[in-house]
Amino acid sequence: MRVVTERMPALKSVTVGIWVNVGSRDEGAGEEGLSHFLEHMFFKGTRTRSASQISREIDALGGEMNAFTARETTTFYVKVPDQQVNPALALLSDLFHHSRFGTKEVEKEKQVVLEEIRMVQDDPEELVQELHAEQTLKRHPLGRPILGGAATVQAFRRDQLLRYISAHYHPLQIVMAVAGNFDLKELVRLVEASFGSFERAARPTLNRWPPEVSGGLQVRRKPLEQAHLCLGLKGLPLGHKDRYAAHALNAVLGGNVSSRLFQEVREKRGLAYSIFSYLSSFSDGGTLTIYAATRPREAPRVVELVCREIRRLRTAGVDRKELERAQNQMKGSLMLSLESTHSRMSKLAKDELHLGRRASLEEMTAEIDRVSADQILRLSRELFDLNRLSVTVLGPVSRRSFHSVLS
């Protein structure tokens, strides 16, 4: 297990995160949603602590403990006042090494996760993005819902969970990241005592292959007040040499309130309250997604306006002021995002997992400053292929209403 640290002596907290290089894309047939389900089960009792004792203990430390599952990683973290690092690490170690995964707790937690799946079904913004991932990446594992499906979750068994842990929770696949106000020598001693004997016999194997972005139109009719739209295009993988240019391109398109889509669709025409774009990058591929919610009769018009701005970027690129504004916004967001021990912990772990080294703030801001208008124009022509545009619509609309816009 790799351990990466950053001391922040001016702060009074410490965040410890355990990042496992396994997520929903690594699940096999019948395992869909298992990574997320396991994340829940780690908090449901150990050999010496019940689930309620775990909750009371973290509250007594004045901290917070949680976990989250992504498509390529599963993360467990604890954030506490700096004087509570020792008991916090002991608690995290107990959960990680000695969780029981009791059969009764497994059956009970199935109901919790089924409610979580129902929550997504009731949230149109979440649901349309889930449908869009499936539409854009087709049958690729990256396009599957992280939560899994109801039928698969109901079929999970304790022995299945234990086999999955044995196969994927290997020291070579795990990074521990620590950020905050701590004594390094004492931290090394604590980590060695809590995790030094962690071993697995079999080496992990990840069966991953690059995704292909597919175009097309999917319309899911549902009685809603708004039509919720997602438009998707090809993005870049993590660590790509043009990743900073891709973020600048996204910022200009729809990544902030001065972006073209926000100004054209919301500010000038009042067609949407919420419209934005974002990048999703993975180890071997990526996507760019545009989301908007609008009155059902205006949905084709919004799609038309989005396509128009995509064409403008492909043909004319960005001007100097747009680029400078995007660069300043990116640098400001980066600096502001690194002001907490939790965000520093996350950056440490992601750098180690995806780059194999730590990228300094100075290096990142210099890379942002080096992005040029020519680079953005080249990248927009490479990524913005409207013949491969993927469109997902959720709401009281018909498929026919989009034919003239997308033909």
**What's at 258, amino acid-wise?**
S
Residue type, 40: H
DSSP string, 210-244: ------EEEEEE---SSEEEEEEEE---TT-TTHH
Q: Which entry of 27, 39, 105, 264 is annotated as an active-site residue?
A: 39
- Structure tokens belonging to residue 261: 């889509």
**316 contact partners, CB below 8 Å, separation of at least 6:** 377
Q: Which segments of 288-370 does DSSP mark as H helices, in order?
A: 299-316, 320-337, 341-350, 361-370
39 a catalytic residue: yes
As a whole number of angstroms, the distance between CA 31 and CA 21 comes to 16
Query: For the purposes of burial, counting CB atoms within 10 Å of the CB of 367, is it exposed (0-12), middle (13-18) or buried (19 or more)?
Result: middle
Q: Are residues 215 and 387 in contact, defined by beta-carbon separation less than 8 angstroms?
A: yes
Bridge partners of 78, per DSSP, are 16, 65
Angstrom distance (rounded) from CA 327 to CA 368: 6
By annotation, the residues acting in catalysis are 39
